[in-house]
Structure 1
Amino acid sequence: MPNGSSGDRRSFLRQGLRSLVRAVAEGVEAAADEAAARASGGRRHLRPPGALPEPTFLLTCTRCGDCARACPVGAIQLLPPSAGAAAGTPYIDPLRRACDLCGRCMPACAPGALQPVAAAREVRMGLAVLDPALCWAFQGSPCSLCYHRCPFPDEAIRLVAGKPAVNREYCTGCGACAYVCVSTPLAITIQPTN
């Protein structure tokens, strides 16, 4: 058999093996995400900056509350017993208090469930999702509160023809925009990325 055919066969087998490993890894990741959602009572929670992926976070967090005590604005709360296996773990409810991205919670986490993030701009704990049907600016009223409260205006939220637009690439998920939204129901919600 010519050498070219042998090389092609090896390449074909390597590609097949990579595809198989990728498919298995994706299946394991999906199963872990589903297990974490069940452990959290089926709900996804907005975790503090630097949180590990949810399944690992739930296993690593000791529920000590040090991150909550380190939060100067009181944005980090601990889940109640009704949260099942996630009880006692930290979360942020941006409607109660948005994260100010100070970064003090990460070094306070001795077990490492919160990993240090080099800069506030690099935090990716959630994503702001805007519903134009509920947004005052899209209904013709002058409103740009979310834009002005965003820690990174013109990056994470831009105004396009007077209407807010979220840039997925730069949104930290801090919740400042949802915290100041005046529409009822809210035009902006924060979807956890973890």
Structure 2
Amino acid sequence: MKDKKRRDFVKQMVGLGVLGVAAAGTVWGGKELLEREESPLRPPGAMPEHQFLALCIKCGQCLQVCPYDAIMLEDVNGKAGVGTAYIDPDKRGCYLCKALPCILACPSGALKHEDADDVRKTHMGVAIIANENACLALYNKPVPESERDLIYDHTKVLTPAERREKKVYDLPNPSEKRTLQVELLKKVEKYVGKQCTICADLCPYPEQSLAIGMVQKGKGYIPEIRSKCVGCGACVELCPTDVLKIIPRKTYDEVYGKKA
């Protein structure tokens, strides 16, 4: 009850424009807080950017419970957002795990608890095709071994030996985090050597084809971003050639101007 009252109070202060909220030894305020040049990709359920910055108490609890180690904390380059949670999909996308523990762990309301009951509500941003000509599917090329190696590097639960040998070992009593991340790694390994459509095949949205699909272009294929894309960034991490990017906080309609 106390936690709920505290969240409601802070939200009310933000709604009234009171931005001098002190937490973790830092006081926020001023134009820099509200006028960042661009917003980083925030975790699922993030409030609008100015509210998120005011509400986030930089506790790192969302980071600690993230099963895929996707969430990081901004460093000094984050300016007003130093210490706040963000996702860099080039290093690890969000895989829309069940129950969204990052939201449930947030004690301040920076991540909306109302969004925790359905991953379809997590509008983090939207994907775009940033470099179509680099797409391997356009030339009917396979997923290279370097993609497997990249995901090995991104998988933090591996032992030094597993990382070095590019081989996963059966360990006794693996944690849920290890189980989920190794499962993703094994899925990637199955695509190595096969024609690349990995961005669409491994999209974590519940109804994949509503968020992304492959469409024919010439003799090959390219990804098509569709209206249910929530901007989780998994496709960005999985793409072997940096074809895709995420525009944080934008909706499909804002970027594409129509519904698929």
Q: Identify if the C-alpha distance between structure 1 residues 52 and 175 changes in structure 2 by more than 3 Å, giving closer, same or farther.
A: same
Alignment deviations for residues 61-92 of structure 1 (CA, whole Å, 9 cap, x no partner): 11111111111211000001231210000000
Counterpart residue number, 1:193? 249
Q: TM-score, normalised by structure 1?
A: 0.74
Q: Aligned-pair distance for 1:110?
A: 0.9
Counterpart residue number, 1:176? 234
CA distance in 1, matches of 2:41, 2:135: 22
Instruction: Say if 1:33 and 1:54, in contact at 8 Å, map to a contact too.
Output: no
Gaps of at least 5 residues in structure 1 are 1-31
Q: Among residues 159, 181, 189, which one is paired with 2:214 in the alignment?
A: 159
Counterpart residue number, 2:191? none
Counterpart residue number, 1:53? 48
Q: How many residue pairs get matched?
A: 157
CA distance in 2, matches of 1:156, 1:34: 34
Q: Which protein has the larger Cα radius of gyration, Structure 1 or Structure 2?
A: 1
Q: Aligned-pair distance for 1:126?
A: 1.6
Counterpart residue number, 1:121? 120
Write the mapping of 1:23-42 to structure 2, written as runs, cut at 5 A.
36-38=34-36, 42=37
Q: Aligned-pair distance for 1:120?
A: 1.1
Gaps of at least 5 residues in structure 2 are 1-29, 142-194, 251-260
What is the identity percentage for the equivalent residue pairs of Structure 1 and Structure 2?
Answer: 39
Alignment deviations for residues 10-40 of structure 1 (CA, whole Å, 9 cap, x no partner): xxxxxxxxxxxxxxxxxxxxxx9985343xx
Q: TM-score, normalised by structure 2?
A: 0.56
SS at match of 1:124: coil
CA RMSD of aligned residues (A): 2.1
CA distance in 2, matches of 1:36, 1:138: 41
Q: Identify if the C-alpha distance between structure 1 residues 96 and 159 changes in structure 2 by more than 3 Å, giving closer, same or farther.
A: same
Q: Aligned-pair distance for 1:121?
A: 2.0
Q: Aligned-pair distance for 1:119?
A: 0.8
